[in-house]
Every structure is written in structure tokens, then in C-alpha cells.
Amino acid sequence: MAINVQIEKNPNESSANVIRRFQKRVQNSGIVRRLRDNRYFKRVKSANVRQSARLNKLSKKTAYDRLYKLGKTPEITTKRR
């Protein structure tokens, strides 16, 4: 949905005032707010995607648990400050 904002310069109006009126018109139309909403909006993942991610996570966890029982996991060294 495109909204065009149009401003025409009056005969005795400075270019700074035209720019100021244009910015005000854009701000009042809500174009910038809508664009920012769309930019940071995260859609909900579908049930299939969530289920496949859950299954993938479970398979990795079982593989790690098996390696941990066998003592083949790499040792995690914590760095002290």
C-alpha cells in the first residue's frame, strides 16, 4: 500500500519551509512508523517448523548425553577473570 505525499512550493516560500512542511506531512501520514513496524516484526513460526526444530534439538541432546556417558565430550574450561 503506497501512500504518496505531495507538497508544492508556494511563490513566497523558502525551500527550508517546504522541506519542513514535507517532513510534517510524512510524519502525520504514519509512513515511517509503519515501515519501522514491518522492519522489526517477527512472524510466528509454523507448527511444522517448530516441531522439526524440537526434534532436531532432542536428537542433538541424546547424542551429547551418549557421548557424555562414554566420557568422550570435550572438557569445558572456564576462564577466570
- For residue range 19-51, what is the model confidence (pLDDT) as tens digits? 999 999 999 988 888 888 888 888 889 999 999
Nearest Cα neighbor of 34 from 74, 2, 64, 81 is 2
* Residue 37 confidence (pLDDT): 87
pLDDT score recorded for residue 20 = 94
| 0.85 surpassed by pTM | no
Residue 51 or 73, more confident:
51
Half-sphere CA count of 81, side-chain side, radius 13 A: 0
Cell of 70: 562414554
